[in-house]
Every structure is written in C-alpha cells, then in structure tokens.
Amino acid sequence: MPEFKTEAQEREFWETHDSAEYLDWSQATPAGFPKLKPSTRTISLRLPETLFDRIKIEANKRAIPYQLLIKVWLAENVNDSHGI
C-alpha cells in the first residue's frame, strides 16, 4: 500500500487507481450495522380527540411516549394481518 504525505495526495491517487489491486478481498468479512435506525417519514394523522386521549392514557400506563405506542400498535397489526 502506498504511503501518502497528505490527504490530497491520497485522494488524487485513489481517483485514478482501483483498490482491488491493493486489497485481498478473500480476507474480507461482512460488516453489520445493527444500531442504524431505519429511515422514517413524518406524517400527519387526524384522530378524534377521544381516541387520542385514550392512546395517551395507554401510553402513560406503559411509561412510553404516545408516538412510540402508536408505532408499536401499527407494526403489530401490519405484521399480524398478512394482508388485508
């Protein structure tokens, strides 16, 4: 592996060379990133006030944020339904 005096030299080198010439990919191991969070999307959802109040009460009983409780319930229902 070549040694570089500056990051700019290294960048210039790798822009014109293939790393396969310098690495033994047979020694590579798969990398896992278990702590990465999946991408999320913000949505707006209108709920009747009484339903929203009941959800907040249930979340308080479990000592978790109501948004998390809604996500858990949605995930459980989607996973259990196997299609509607």
| pLDDT at 34 (0 to 100) | 82
How many separate domains does the chain show?
1
Q: Which domain holds residue 74?
A: 7-28+35-81
Residue 45 — very low, low, confident or very high, per pLDDT cuts 50/70/90?
very high
Query: Is 2 within a domain?
Result: no
- Alpha-carbon distance of 51 to 42, in angstroms, equals 20
Residue 53 located in a structural domain: yes
1 lies in a domain? no
Distance CA 65, CA 48 (A): 18
Residue 65 lies in a domain: yes
For the entire predicted model, the pTM comes to 0.51
